[in-house]
Amino acid sequence: MRHFAKTVIQSGLLFAVFVVSLLITEYLNAWIAIPGLILAPVLGTGIIPSGALGAELTALTRRAFIPKLVVQIYQASPLLSALMANAQMASGGVSAVTCPVQGSAFVTTQASDYTGTFNQPQVTNGATNAEFNLKLIVTPIPFLGMEGAVQINAAVVPIVEARMNDAGNSATDYLATKLWNNATDGLDIVGLPGAVDDTGVYGNIDGGANTYWRAKVYSESPAVDPTRDLMLKYIAGTALNSGGEMPTFGVMSLGTWVKLAQDFTSQEQYRITPDSSFDQSPNGARALFTALMVAGVPIYADPFATDGDAYFVNTNYTSFYIHEDAAFAFTGFESTLPNFQIGYIGALLTILEFVVTKRKANTFVEGLNSVTL
């Protein structure tokens, strides 16, 4: 009798759980939603019925998850990739990156006659130090103890792995944003607006008072269409301002880059001969290209760039300096028990600075027209 009563009670509990789950599912499906994010399974489309049958399937059937997390929120940055590839190591110390730069002549050349006499030389001050402090960026990574307990042997995507992967993406996205937008020497890295300019103090040297410490700046007003002839002017201007050195590459926004590409499009030609026809090629005819080349200088598109702006960069003097002990280093997880919480916390650390040791070898252009994308 006791066994029979126990069976009845268990059956009743199972039935109650089933009914409650149906009600909850129907409630979620009908009411609970965040703008842009639906929390309940999709019912009433495809082979999944709606109403009570759909709710029943939801309660009794597991979802068919894709066992990977598809990232939707980050962008690639060609400029950041180029600077990371060209990164230099730094170590400790105050002004961890100190570069002696020559801003005036140490000696004076002069003509002489048959006697070989010359004026007494003067000792001149020709050098000073460009000094840069490294900056710290931190990406904290939390891991709650109960997350591990719930997900063990049941995870579709382990949350801690998703956070670890996201830490690198978040750090690079942060750096790319500051690289394109920050002009202030504070806690953040100094970006292109501060490093490639013809005014302001950069590296502890005043560009306003020292002509050798000025990048070339073009401000087009009214705005003009970017063309090959204009790009050639900016490239030649960079070479003239830097003493004859060509920039390594140019970079601009996608909208400005497309506007420049349109200057190339009308010049494309397709030559078809009996022995060389596009209908014999599985890929068809090629049109346009991914890097626009002007005077041997490739010009790339970067999604972080501002429409209407362009930079011409010389990587011989432009790179990241990254601390040798904190190059995207992970601290390891430490317990949060001292804070009365079951869990762990770690951090991804990067200590670095964006450094330009020869400002005049780089150029900034503003006032270019763009295509709306």
Angle at the Cα of 241 from the Cα atoms of 238 and 246, rounded to 5 degrees? 40
Q: Helices H, strands E: what count in the chain?
A: 8, 18
293: which residues sit within 8 A by CB, 6+ positions away? 299
Residues 61-119 have pLDDT tens digits of 888 888 888 888 888 898 998 899 889 999 888 888 999 998 888 898 999 999 999 99
End-to-end CA distance of the chain: 76
Query: How many beta carbons lie within 10 A of that of residue 152, not counting itself?
Result: 9
Closest CA to 28 of 66, 53, 59: 59
Helix (H) or strand (E) holding 159, with range, is helix 159-181
Strand partners, 329: 349
pLDDT digits (tens, 9 = 90+) for 139-149: 999 999 898 88
Name, in order, each residue with C-beta under 8 angstroms of 308's C-beta and a sequence gap of 6 or more. 223, 253, 256, 366, 367, 368, 369, 370
Q: Any idea what the Cα angle at residue 304 is, between residues 301 and 306, rounded to 5°? A: 85
Say what the pTM is. Answer: 0.81
Quote the Cα angle for 293-242-190, to 5°.
Answer: 85
Of 26-30, 93-97, 168-172, least confident by mean pLDDT is 26-30
Specify the pLDDT at position 157: 86
From the number of C-beta atoms within 10 Å of its C-beta (0-12, 13-18, 19+), residue 312 rates as buried
Q: Which residue has the higher pLDDT, 201 or 35?
A: 201
What percent of the chain stands above pLDDT 90?
Answer: 57
Handedness of CA 20, 24, 26, 27 (dihedral sign): positive
Q: With 70 as the cut, is the pLDDT of residue 244 above it? A: yes
Question: 185-199: per-residue pLDDT in tens?
Answer: 999 999 999 999 999
Q: What is the dihedral of CA 61, 62, 64, 68, to 10 degrees?
A: 170
Mean residue pLDDT across the chain: 85
Q: Does residue 97 sit in helix, strand or coil?
A: strand
In this model, does residue 15 exceed pLDDT 80?
no
Question: How distant is the alpha carbon of residue 364 from its chain centre?
Answer: 19
291-319 mean pLDDT: 92
pLDDT digits (tens, 9 = 90+) for 355-364: 999 999 999 9
